[in-house]
Amino acid sequence: MLIKEIVDVVKAEVLTNFHDENTDVKYGFASDLMSDVLAYATGEALLITGLNNPQVIRTAEMLDISVVLFVRGKRPGKEVIELAKENQLTILASDYTMFKACGLLVMNGMEGLEIND
Amino acid sequence: MTDKILKRYSYDVIANDFMSAGKSSSAIKSNLKSLGIASDIIRKIAIISYEAELNLVIHSFGGKLHCDIFENKIVIISEDTGPGIADVDLAMKEGFSTAGDSVRELGFGAGMGLPNIKKYSDQLKINTSSEGTTIVVTIYL
């Protein structure tokens, strides 16, 4: 799904923008547990989370995740945005709950990551 | 093949400094990038080093994180000054954690740290006592 479509579908605000709006993000991974993100997500996924501390950006950085969507109306603080800029992450924020955001994204063609252990 | 360290990157990790947690791993990651290491290897090492760094911040009295570059492998070493892991077998179990609520609020402390390190490593050695813990993680190139 293109970043501009993600923005449309979840009515997101674009907080930092380092990618072309036509960049394709095929998969989504939603969690508030960064340890699970580290265990199961990959760099090609959109990270969907309701946590908004710097560790979210660090986690994305370690995995080469390039787009993060904050849900539940969470707006990250200044230091989180600065860290995202340092790492050239595109961050979006939506007022939808995680469930609703995920549901809308799936309905519009985004796929979930498969867990391979 | 000689087992000589070609390069060592070392960082101090401070206990309970959650705002800085991840800085050392971020530096390790960019150093490996500049050495031209393959990106899938870098990702594995970044995850291992970040989990190890978080463990130092969350559980230890503070310590050091090293990244040693050899010709055929990269070794991440975490060493701290205590208090030690009470039960290593339990700590290796997914879901077991001794972390408190403040850590969980940050999205960690879910008992995935050491299991994640094991998952992405080729070799994992843990030495622990009340004097300190040393974790040596090897990833072959």
Q: What is the mean pLDDT of residues B18-37?
A: 95
Domain ranges of chain B: 7-140
Tell me which chain A residues have a C-beta less than 8 angstroms from the C-beta of B102: none
Q: Is the residue at A94 inside a domain?
A: yes
Higher pLDDT, B140 or B108: B140
Average pLDDT, chain B: 94
**A89 touches A15 (CB < 8 A):** no
Band of pLDDT at residue B107, cut at 50, 70 and 90: confident
pLDDT in the model for residue B1: 55
- Nearest by CB to B106, from A53, A61, A62: name it: A53
pLDDT at residue B110 tops 90: no
Q: Is the residue at A79 inside a domain?
A: yes
The verdict on a CB contact (< 8 Å) between B110 and A35 is yes
Tell me which chain B residues have a C-beta less than 8 angstroms from the C-beta of A60: none
CATH of the domain at A22: 3.40.1390.20
Query: pLDDT tens digit string along B53-88?
Result: 999 999 999 999 999 999 999 999 999 999 999 999
Taking the CA atoms of residue B29, residue B20, residue B120 and residue B113 in that order, the dihedral angle to the nearest 10 degrees is 180
Interface predicted TM-score of the whole assembly (ipTM), two decimals: 0.89
Order of all β-strands in the sheet with A13-16: A13-16, A90-93, A67-70, A45-49, A27-30, A111-112
- Which residue segment(s) compose the domain that A40 sits in? 3-111
Disruptive mutation site among A31, A35, A80 for chain B (greatest number of B CBs within 10 Å): A35
Band of pLDDT at residue A117, cut at 50, 70 and 90: low
Q: Give chain A's domain count.
A: 1
Query: pLDDT tens digit string along A14-67?
Result: 999 998 889 999 999 999 999 899 999 999 999 999 999 999 999 999 999 999
Instruction: Express as a percent the part of chain A with pLDDT over 90.
Output: 91
pTM: predicted TM-score of the whole model, two decimal places? 0.93
Q: B64-81: buried (b, 16+ CB within 10 Å) or exposed (e) per residue?
A: bbbbbbbeebbbbbbbbe
Quick one: residue B64, left, alpha or beta (phi over 0 = left, psi -120 to 50 = alpha)? beta
Tell me which chain B residues have a C-beta less than 8 angstroms from the C-beta of A52: none
- Give the closest-approach CA distance of A21 to chain B in angstroms: 25
pLDDT in the model for residue A85: 97
- Nearest by CB to A55, from B21, B39, B47: name it: B21
CATH of B7-140, one of 3.40.309.10, 3.90.1860.10, 3.30.565.10, 3.30.360.10: 3.30.565.10
Whether B1 has its CB under 8 Å from any CB of chain A: the answer is no
Whether B26 has its CB under 8 Å from any CB of chain A: the answer is yes
Q: Is the residue at A117 inside a domain?
A: no
- Nearest by CB to B107, from A39, A56, A63: name it: A56
The verdict on a CB contact (< 8 Å) between A39 and B29 is no
